[in-house]
Structure 1
């Protein structure tokens, strides 16, 4: 099992730098380009939601942990912002009722599985899994 984590501020520059580190890191680096790009796309959407909605544009702390377990990438994102928009897990939702039309939310729901979103002890916690089948 391969594990990687990072702590940074939820602002556009720091998010981009973290995504670049993950792209070359021990978890995503060995993946084929298609799978790596899909995971990075979902992470980018999640982190942008944290920056834009949970912190409402104020750059607060965020922690991301990635783990390669078998043929799955497991991710955990934790922030201390306000309540992030719900991803509508386990139910159909109207995309037009979501912030900005819900396009990022729909993308996350389509590409990731095992999504669990909760607020606990002042933290927003989002976990998800993505299957990969071409680990190098």
Structure 2
């Protein structure tokens, strides 16, 4: 819940995180905190991020909005991340938390990007009896 509230706070203050994943979540006194704002950016800022990073495909591949892959790989169009991209990353983070393993665990970077660009996602891991 704290991660969701933290992301909501960022969005309410016109900030896109753009790199939300499990390694950017810290636990302090039992509270989950979002960290690493290195490639974060203000909404509608097309010239510079808060830190100056501008590459759309920077970040942990399995958490990047699929439209970034689909449009860039299939059509050569660069898609800017937006608040929906952060929500997608939150969804993947929640998938990891509920399944206990990172998304696309054991896949190499090329396989991850190709798999995602083909609109394929991780399947839930079923609990063993």
> Whose relative contact order is higher, 1 or 2, with alpha carbons under 8 Å and at least 6 apart?
1
Q: Scaled by the length of structure 2, what TM-score is found?
A: 0.29
Q: Which structure shows the bigger proportion of residues in strand conformation? A: 1
Structure with max Cα Rg: 2
